[in-house]
Structure 1
Amino acid sequence: MNVKPALLAALLVTVATPVYAQEPTFDPDAVRAHVTFLADDLLEGRDTGSRGYDIAANYVASQFTMMGLKPAAPDGTFFQKLTVREARLDGAPKLTLTFGGKDTVLSDTAQVLVRPSLGDKAVTLDAPMVFAGFGFDRPDLGFDDYRGLDVKGKIVVVLTGFPKGMPSELGAHLNSDKAVMAMKRGAVAVISVPTNEDTARRPWDKRVAISDGPSKGWVGSDGKAFSRAPGIKASITLNPDAATPLFAAAKKPLAKILAEADKKGGRPKGFALPGKASLTLASTWKDVISENVVAMLPGSDPKLAGEFVGMTAHLDHIGIHGKGEDTLHNGAMDNASGVATMIEVAKAVAKDRPRRSVLFAALTGEEGGLIGSDYLARHPVAKSDLVAVVNFDMPVLTYMFSDVVAFGAENSTMGPIVAEAAKKAGIKLSPDPMPEEGLFTRSDHYRFVQQGVPAVFMMTGFAGPGEKAFRDFLKTHYHQPSDDLKLPFNWDAGALFAKVNYFTVLGLANGDERPKWYANSFFGKEFAPGAAKADAPAK
């Protein structure tokens, strides 16, 4: 038996369970131990459905066992199993734009990117095109991009992102809902054209580099992959250079449209595009079994034990893929660091036995589109009431942070609890420093929000050295093989991140009242219209 010294050290550290006082001390070496194990090469990047992911899942289950937590899956284990479908392109798709009496055939990834289909192995489309601005169809919110447009049976062309100046969380939500809005209008496919801002943040060559991965989705009992927009048969991204002639033929220069979208409040109007688009697309499917690792801690107060506070962190990463010498994506920061801090918070909370019950979940499939969280949110393992979710995802632990950003906190009475937790931990709260990234909709907590559950997701902040460290990580290491244990981890920062989340979870689990959406919260009104609301605090 050949056990690596680093792995052996990790296992030895995790076996030691300290006895906490009322306020636990979080051990940086314990965080380090978990990350060391989960980000080791032996786990091969923890891709959903892989052997490496299963090893990681068993590791987390062993930690839950050591804490004395109860298995929460329906079969009496820690593993909520689900089938995940992976769709990959079978050959190169072909998009033909017909306008001005000519056919322009686009099949090179330098011009167009087409996602594999989870719904149909073969897709053939031939339809007119309509430009719909940012593609927002919410007149009740002042966004009427489809006004005067007939898109039934047609392909909708939209800009990526959302208008500048919008509240970032609302913009991120509407951006993630574009396919649904297009489907409800009768569209059959969506073509996205990146804005200038989007291109600056993610140049086309970077889009191409990450485009070779499969589409993924959980499979229902009917054998079909779940989709929120089943009527949309294809999702296409068009290089602005390739889109320019099409807009020119409509006598609507794309450069002017993109310049308008670059202005604060800029919202280009829609119009019919000339000609038509034809698409042929073939996909192959592979179904794999994966699991959410779920455990519960019963509440100590009989009156509140039927209410659950959820703690979530995604366990998966993106595995082995790409070209070059190193193709193994260890995911040390994304999200071994989040799982590690969640485990340490769980260990402390289990010792405290709070009034409400707590559900702990290490989730699969986040990188494939928040799959495990969507499955758990729609197939809850606890038949009791989930009242709040605290999500741990990719705290950047290369610096000692002095602030955190709490996404979602301003939408519910979770906000004051998070503020008090930050104060107890000796740090401050800061507003979203990267609204253009739309982070609120890009992690697992959001699937619970969509089921009406208030949620918060914290990330390490930008104060002091934070902005440079965070942006450097995103630019250089995010979803790259270099996200590994060679990064300059500050394990004391990991302990501090655990501390602020511990105070948050404990505040939620011990509060006299369950969290409530604020009456003026868009998300509360959108996803929990019948739930009791609280008055928003005065500004």
Structure 2
Amino acid sequence: MRLSVSAAALAAALMMSSPVLAQQAPTFDTARLSEHARILSDDSFQGRGIGTPAEEMVVKYLSEQYAAAGFQPGGPNGQWTQDVTLNRFTASNIQAQLKVGDEAIPLTPGEQIVVSTRLPGDHVMLMDTPLVFVGYGIDAPERQWDDFKDVDVRGKILVVLVNDADFEQPELDTFGGRAMTYYGRWTYKYEEAARQGAAGVIIVHETAPASYGWATVTNSWSGPQFDIVRQNAAAERVPMEAWIQRDVAVDLFQRAGQDFEALKVAARSRDFRPVELEGASFSGMFDVATSQITTRNVLARLEGTTHPDETILYTAHWDHIGVGAPDAEGDTIFNGAVDNATGTAGLLEIARAFGAGPRPERSIVMISFTAEESGLLGSEFYASNPVYPLATTVGGFNADAMNVYGRTARYGITGYGQSDFDERIGAKVEAQGREIQPDANPASGGYFRSDHFPLAKRGVPMTYGGSTGDFRDEPIAQREATRSEYGRSRYHQAADEWSADWDLTGQVEDLQVLYEVGLDLANSRDWPAWKPGSEFAPAREATAAERQ
């Protein structure tokens, strides 16, 4: 069993290419990629919402395209799909207000606050519930960090900051510097609050540490929320999950005799203790329509010739937000063209490349995940109920919101330093005349925000990245402006639409890297390894005996 190789030896091996394979290197066609993305983000697909009639259209299109590429159904019982049962929660008739002393402060849903739940029930009512500021809301014993200390927060509403303490002061290096850990993710905040017995959580939204604006919050949390079915939901979910605008929090703290900025500074210390907002409370009530839906992951498989029980994964989520409130232009369809029709199209074309070449020794499995936008639920379900054993899953590549702006000088690896995929990918990138950029924006917590993460935390080496850095072709300034404008005005908004003006030459380079690294692994006995110090290494090591 080979679990690791030196970086130098690995790079040298990857730079050597077989003449046979070199002759059969595929060409990824920009026209095909664009057409896949155009179809999947067309208005007729209604924003690819899960549990909607549009889902059937997506499943049909993907299974037909995978079949045309030469792949077989890869789901349970010879099916193209894996059923994923979710609870769906729709909040309505939302009323919310803060109260400080005798003064009531009504909050407008969507403008000042968003409120949701992922706890089964018909109604949520929280009346005059005390508010406690718990800093970043983190309990991390291995980092000697406890924002709760011995304070009993049961039945109270926690006010928490987004991200972790190192975002504001990276030199503290308590959480790895300005590189978000899972403790900084909103999902963790809600999970830890449930463990603490809180009645609810209000996350204070700030654009920089969240890495997205308030419009993304309203678009993502104002509609139905989803969760996998849990046996003990009452212990794992709080009744209310909410976000408020920063200005609302500043005003609340001031009325309660506190300084928001001063408490933010205090929250960066291990000595921080929870601060009850004296005389302040929250009241909220809303109806909840709770139901179950079955949505689907789409799986396609190309069986290996020599080691068919060893699996290499390529993953991307097919879903998006669906239909929501109209934007300024009256558009209600969140087409999700870049996020993630591009990654879905990329998987289809990688499948075509594998299907057209000699059959690899190990099996290749494509998984188009559902419910990523609802909290990585499709991938979480698969990782908890794998069709192919995780112990003999060699590793995988995740594609999410791929480059549509042109060729770049660098390839960014999100979560750089975690595994020897860094060196494997680096060799291919350098052969293209590009450079590796370690995690272009580690503070955004990207490694915990896409579908590779549920697999990684269970020990499967996964890599996620793509084009970044300066553009290589003119007009450079225009390309940069378009890329920046997407993050500012289109991400998770109705304006994320397909364009005939996309330049997919950079996406082609990225797909070539992912294909070639996967092909090398598919025809080798290598097992990618986590690097020393990775928090995911122990889970992989626990199954070492199952790999030969």
TM-score range, shorter chain: 0.7 to 0.9
Please state whether the residue corresponding to 2:296 is helix, strand or coil.
Answer: strand
Aligned-partner residue type, residue 115 of structure 1? S
Alignment of 1:392-407 (within 5 A): 392-407=399-414
Q: Could you tell me how far apart the structure 1 residues matched to 2:248 and 2:385 are?
A: 43
Q: Could you tell me how far apart the structure 2 residues matched to 1:516 and 1:528 are?
A: 8
- Quote the offset at 1:161 in angstroms: 1.6
- Quote the offset at 1:294 in angstroms: 0.4
Residue of structure 1 aligned with 2:380, choices 374, 378, 397: 374
Unaligned runs of 5+ in 2: 1-20
Counterpart in the other structure of 1:13 = none
Counterpart in the other structure of 2:8 = none
Query: Residues 196 and 349 from structure 1, CA distance in 2 versus in 1: closer, same or farther, beyond 3 angstroms?
Result: closer
State percent identity of aligned pairs: 27
Counterpart in the other structure of 1:277 = 282
Q: Could you tell me how far apart the structure 2 residues matched to 1:196 and 1:333 are?
A: 21
- Quote the offset at 1:159 in angstroms: 0.8
What's the C-alpha RMSD, in Å, of the aligned pairs? 3.0
Counterpart in the other structure of 2:188 = 177
Please say if 1:318 is aligned against 2:331.
Answer: no
Query: Residues 218 and 117 from structure 1, CA distance in 2 versus in 1: closer, same or farther, beyond 3 angstroms?
Result: closer
How many residue pairs match? The answer is: 504
Counterpart in the other structure of 1:515 = 528
Please say if 1:482 is aligned against 2:495.
Answer: yes
Q: Could you tell me how far apart the structure 2 residues matched to 1:81 and 1:456 are?
A: 25
Please say if 1:237 is aligned against 2:221.
Answer: no
Query: Residues 309 and 80 from structure 1, CA distance in 2 versus in 1: closer, same or farther, beyond 3 angstroms?
Result: same
- Quote the offset at 1:185 in angstroms: 2.7
- Quote the offset at 1:345 in angstroms: 1.2
Q: Could you tell me how far apart the structure 2 residues matched to 1:45 and 1:152 are?
A: 39
Query: Residues 240 and 458 from structure 1, CA distance in 2 versus in 1: closer, same or farther, beyond 3 angstroms?
Result: closer
- Quote the offset at 1:210 in angstroms: 4.9
Q: Could you tell me how far apart the structure 1 residues matched to 2:214 and 2:25 are?
A: 49
Query: Residues 184 and 326 from structure 1, CA distance in 2 versus in 1: closer, same or farther, beyond 3 angstroms?
Result: closer
Please state whether the residue corresponding to 1:90 is helix, strand or coil.
Answer: strand
Aligned-partner residue type, residue 463 of structure 1? D
Unaligned runs of 5+ in 1: 1-18, 534-539
Query: Residues 241 and 409 from structure 1, CA distance in 2 versus in 1: closer, same or farther, beyond 3 angstroms?
Result: closer
Counterpart in the other structure of 1:438 = 445
Q: Could you tell me how far apart the structure 2 residues matched to 1:317 and 1:457 are?
A: 19
- Quote the offset at 1:170 in angstroms: 4.5
Counterpart in the other structure of 1:27 = 29
Counterpart in the other structure of 2:542 = 530
- Tell whether the 8 Å contact from 1:49 to 1:289 is kept in structure 2 after alignment: yes
Please say if 1:491 is aligned against 2:491.
Answer: no
Please state whether the residue corresponding to 2:136 is helix, strand or coil.
Answer: coil
Which deviates more, 364-373 or 182-191?
182-191
Query: Residues 153 and 42 from structure 1, CA distance in 2 versus in 1: closer, same or farther, beyond 3 angstroms?
Result: closer
- Tell whether the 8 Å contact from 1:180 to 1:229 is kept in structure 2 after alignment: no
Counterpart in the other structure of 2:14 = none
Q: Which has the higher contact order (CA 8 A, sep 6+)?
A: 2
Query: Residues 244 and 483 from structure 1, CA distance in 2 versus in 1: closer, same or farther, beyond 3 angstroms?
Result: closer
1:323-381 deviation line (CA, Å, top 9, x unaligned)? 14332222221111111111111222232432322221111111222121111111112
Query: Residues 342 and 267 from structure 1, CA distance in 2 versus in 1: closer, same or farther, beyond 3 angstroms?
Result: farther
- Tell whether the 8 Å contact from 2:163 to 2:180 is kept in structure 1 after alignment: no
Query: Residues 272 and 170 from structure 1, CA distance in 2 versus in 1: closer, same or farther, beyond 3 angstroms?
Result: same
Query: Residues 171 and 383 from structure 1, CA distance in 2 versus in 1: closer, same or farther, beyond 3 angstroms?
Result: closer
1:233-280 deviation line (CA, Å, top 9, x unaligned)? 21122333333354335543113234667x9x8996532332443432
Q: Could you tell me how far apart the structure 2 residues matched to 1:20 and 1:424 are?
A: 13
Counterpart in the other structure of 1:15 = none
Alignment of 1:107-506 (within 5 A): 108-126=109-127, 127-163=129-165, 164=167, 165=170, 166-167=175-176, 170-175=180-185, 176-195=187-206, 197-198=208-209, 202-204=212-214, 207-208=217-218, 210-219=220-229, 230-248=236-254, 250-258=256-264, 269-275=273-279, 276-302=281-307, 305-323=308-326, 324-350=329-355, 351-383=357-389, 385-464=392-471, 465=476, 468-486=481-499, 488-506=501-519
Query: Residues 239 and 482 from structure 1, CA distance in 2 versus in 1: closer, same or farther, beyond 3 angstroms?
Result: closer
Counterpart in the other structure of 1:11 = none
Counterpart in the other structure of 2:15 = none
- Tell whether the 8 Å contact from 1:462 to 1:470 is kept in structure 2 after alignment: no
Q: Could you tell me how far apart the structure 1 residues matched to 2:414 and 2:311 are?
A: 20
Q: Could you tell me how far apart the structure 1 residues matched to 2:388 and 2:69 are?
A: 19
- Tell whether the 8 Å contact from 1:413 to 1:515 is kept in structure 2 after alignment: yes
- Tell whether the 8 Å contact from 2:204 to 2:244 is kept in structure 1 after alignment: yes
Please state whether the residue corresponding to 2:32 is helix, strand or coil.
Answer: helix
Q: Could you tell me how far apart the structure 2 residues matched to 1:472 and 1:267 are?
A: 41
- Tell whether the 8 Å contact from 1:71 to 1:296 is kept in structure 2 after alignment: yes
Aligned-partner residue type, residue 520 of structure 1? G
- Quote the offset at 1:140 in angstroms: 1.3
Q: Could you tell me how far apart the structure 2 residues matched to 1:134 and 1:267 are?
A: 13
| TM-score (normalizing by structure 2) | 0.83
Query: Residues 336 and 112 from structure 1, CA distance in 2 versus in 1: closer, same or farther, beyond 3 angstroms?
Result: closer
| TM-score (normalizing by structure 1) | 0.84
Q: Could you tell me how far apart the structure 1 residues matched to 2:493 and 2:251 are?
A: 35
Q: Could you tell me how far apart the structure 1 residues matched to 2:494 and 2:247 are?
A: 30
Q: Could you tell me how far apart the structure 1 residues matched to 2:520 and 2:383 are?
A: 22
Aligned-partner residue type, residue 325 of structure 1? G
1:407-443 deviation line (CA, Å, top 9, x unaligned)? 2342122222121222234322112232332221111
- Quote the offset at 1:174 in angstroms: 4.0
Aligned-partner residue type, residue 367 of structure 2? A
Aligned-partner residue type, residue 530 of structure 1? A
Q: Could you tell me how far apart the structure 2 residues matched to 1:391 and 1:334 are?
A: 13
